[in-house]
Amino acid sequence: MTLLVPDTTARSLAGRDFLKEVDLTVEEWRSLVALAAELKMARRLPGRAPRLAGRSIALLFEKSSTRTRCAFEVAAHDEGAHVTYLDPASSHLGHKESVADTARVLSRLYDGIEYRGSDHALVETLAAYADVPVWNGLTDDWHPTQALCDVLTMLEHSAKPAEQITVAYVGDARNNVARSLLVAGAMMGMDVRMVSPAELAPGADAVQHAERIAAVTGARLDITSDRHRGLAGADFVHTDVWVSMGEPPELWDRRIALLAPYAVDDALLEITGNPQVRFMHCLPALHGTDTELGRQLASRTGRTSFEVTPEVFESERSIVFDQAENRLHTIKAVLVATLAG
């Protein structure tokens, strides 16, 4: 794995918020990747000293989670910090108490605050009123901790330097994962392709952010609906779910019809022309009918897999569980950089 900058740059993030990729410089972003790699190696060493001993962290979750919650909790505990988990029923956030007031209260009690929810404006408000670092665990607009782990995973699975890596995101490219990957890839100087139906392409703001960064890093960006153009030569093919639990069923038929040609199966991976291509997914994935949502969709559509087939998901080309593990190490890097300096 080629790391581009020393992790010492991460020290400049002490006391800072981590809300979206574009709030960081290229050097700061790359330093977090380097720090994550260092902390991943250090976790295996005996006798290591925790870097966050005595710190306390609040986790505000308005959306349910597996990987984000577990990664924040284990990362904090590994480094000696204490964690309080607050689900929607455990706080008055936005209901009986304003977001600004919640931020000011929690700042008196905790050394850092994580937020996972829908409206990105809420995490920005938390950060504006909190006196401690605020971290974005996911909003509808951005998913920066996922993008960090995606970058680390690609570097681990490629002998190429970042500037020579090609990643193609396939599917609904408007969502938070795609937007964050587009900007993160630009930060790393990668060749980044967003491959989707035109009406599901990334928003203009994300594209403009990525283009501005690419002008500095030399990244190559391509927003296309042409699968052959977007996938040719890709080292990594990344996707995400087409529909989410809670979305109205009337949206499903239209969305699935639009995205069916972009399902990741063996034939789609063959378009890359790369026998070493790797498959990525932020999880959870709909690759069968062993989930409630999968069964609902199968009953409605007759399909038994959606954004990825079980053959690809379970194949040796799939590195999705390496991604899932790396959520831990990259989130730990964010905590250490912003709290320990």
Residues with catalytic annotation? 116, 143, 146, 240, 282, 327
Distance CA 111, CA 54 (A): 10
**CB-count burial class (<10 Å; 0-12, 13-18, 19+) for 87:** middle
- Tokens representing 41 are 């190696």
Residue with tokens 């300096």: 341
- Exposed, middle or buried by CB within 10 Å (0-12, 13-18, 19+), for 105? middle
Answer left, alpha or beta for residue 218, where phi above 0 means left and psi between -120 and 50 means alpha. left
In the Cβ-directed half-sphere of 144, how many Cα atoms lie within 13 Å?
24
Angle subtended by helix axes 320-335 and 67-78, to nearest 10: 50
Q: What is the C-alpha separation between 213 and 283, in angstroms, rounded?
A: 27
Spell out the residues 6+ positions from residue 171 whose beta carbon is closer than 8 angstroms to its own.
178, 195, 196, 200, 239, 240, 242, 259, 262, 264, 307
Report the C-alpha gap between 192 and 169 in whole angstroms: 8
Bridge-based pairing of strands 56-61 and 82-86 is parallel
Please count the other Cβ atoms lying within 10 Å of the Cβ belonging to residue 90.
11
